[in-house]
Amino acid sequence: MNSRDLGLACAAGALAVDQGSKLILLYGLHFIEMAPGDRIGVLPFFDLVMVWNPGISYGLLPARGAAGTALLAVFSVAAVAGLGWWLWHSGRKLPAAALGLVIGGAIGNLIDRLIYGKVADFFHFYVHGYDWYVFNLADCAITLGVGALLYDALLRPQPAVGDRQTGRSE
């Protein structure tokens, strides 16, 4: 599998897992269906909580009405287009997979924004009085993808001198 195909597969996988989890939690199966504010305790440090996020990560830049939602949607489309261009031209597997995760997560949240006007978040972790924001699997994909891009840019071992001369890549 070449790097471009790997990135596209990661994007499709992240999108499918995100949208599938949201459909199950929003519209339910026989055992679960969540409305805003509902909370289901799963583990002593983890709950499912239904929250609508009108902004971006951590609730930053909340959209105020249809114009704000449209602006965030346009920003998302532009980001996906730019990241898609980067993925298309990426010749290495790690950055391609990372870009795919970010793209898939961004499209997942964009779909929510276009359908509902805000993003559905469900997962809430907490321990010893500390808690993390409520997030979804698209947010996880974006975070993992950005982390992998940072690793690749900052910590990836540099190729040996002979590899640089031959131009060999992953």
Q: Which of 121, 131, 152, 163 is catalytic?
A: 121
Cβ-based neighbours of 101, under 8 Å, separated by 6 or more: 10, 11, 14, 141, 142, 144, 145, 148
Annotation marks residue 47 as catalytic: no
Q: Which of 18, 47, 112, 139 is catalytic?
A: 139
CA–CA gap between residue 95 and residue 101 (Å, rounded): 10
Cβ-based neighbours of 127, under 8 Å, separated by 6 or more: 45
- Angle at the Cα of 96 (from 93 to 100), degrees rounded to 5? 135
DSSP-derived secondary structure for 113-165: HHHHSSEEEEEEEEETTEEPPPB-HHHHHHHHHHHHHHHHHHTSPPPPHHHHH
Annotation marks residue 139 as catalytic: yes
| Active-site residue list | 121, 139
